[in-house]
């Protein structure tokens, strides 16, 4: 008896089974490729939805911030915010961009290019506007605002303007605004003033009236 006949029969059977498995694998590859294409579509779709939502929030932020600019002393200025721009290659360039338009300059100027006092006013406006927008979207009402050293880089005239702005804002929004600073300010806009005085025995609170 020829022992190789059984071997050939066995190998032909394995070949047939392998071809069958290969056909199944080819079908599975096609299905996976289709799923990959669908997933790629939704990756871009979710990216577009996210950018749309962020841009919608930034529009609200612009409105809130720009309404405060004249009150804080930046007359006829305008802020614009942008974030996550899609490049020509299809990738996303991340980062929050803020530019300022001033009356004497038609070209947008980046936030970082402004002087210390002006930049500080812009930071205060941005922080207050952002907190307002986020609280509104969260459905939270808060009647307290605390500003820690808001007069950094500001001259005394700018600090006085800031006190007037915060007092007006507190009355308009029915909020309690607490202003904490190393710079001593005499202002009629304060309802009460507490001074922390350092002594050899420790810190002492003075005032409060």
Q: Read off the pLDDT of residues 76-131 as tens digits, 9 standing for 90 and up.
A: 788 888 776 666 676 666 667 777 887 777 777 776 777 788 888 888 998 999 89
Give ∠ CA 16-22-27 in degrees, rounded to 5: 135
Q: Kind of pairing, strands 194-199 and 202-207? A: antiparallel
Share of the chain above pLDDT 90, in %: 14
* Token pair belonging to 22: 């290969």
Give 79's DSSP letter: E
pLDDT averaged over every residue in the chain: 84
Of 77, 187, 53, the closest CA to residue 126 belongs to 77
CA–CA separation, 97 and 82 (whole Å): 5
| The pLDDT value given to residue 88 | 66
pLDDT at 24 over 90: yes
pLDDT at 30 over 90: yes
pLDDT at 29 over 90: yes
Q: Kind of pairing, strands 144-148 and 176-180? A: parallel
Tokens 């720009």, residue? 66
* Token pair belonging to 81: 């915010």
Return the sign of the alpha-carbon dihedral for residues 162, 167, 168, 172: positive
């Amino acid at each position: 008896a020829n022992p190789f006949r059984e071997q050939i029969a066995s190998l032909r059977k394995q070949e047939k089974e392998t071809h069958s498995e290969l056909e199944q694998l080819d079908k599975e590859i096609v299905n996976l490729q289709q799923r990959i294409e669908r997933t790629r579509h939704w990756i871009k779709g979710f990216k577009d939805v996210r950018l749309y939502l962020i841009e919608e929030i930034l529009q609200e932020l612009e409105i809130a911030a720009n309404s405060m600019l004249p009150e804080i002393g930046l007359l006829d200025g305008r802020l614009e915010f942008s974030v996550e721009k899609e490049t020509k290659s299809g990738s996303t360039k991340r980062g929050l961009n803020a530019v300022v338009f001033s009356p004497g300059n038609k070209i947008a100027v980046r936030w970082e290019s402004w002087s210390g006092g002006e930049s500080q006013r812009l930071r205060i406006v941005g922080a207050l506007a952002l907190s307002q927008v986020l609280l509104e979207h969260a459905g939270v009402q808060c009647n307290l605002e605390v500003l820690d050293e808001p007069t950094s880089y500001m001259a005394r005239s700018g600090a006085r303007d800031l006190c007037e702005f915060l007092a007006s804002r507190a009355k308009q929004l029915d909020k309690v605004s607490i202003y904490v600073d190393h710079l001593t300010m005499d202002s009629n806009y304060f309802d009460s003033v507490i001074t922390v005085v350092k002594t050899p025995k420790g810190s002492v609170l003075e005032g409060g009236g």
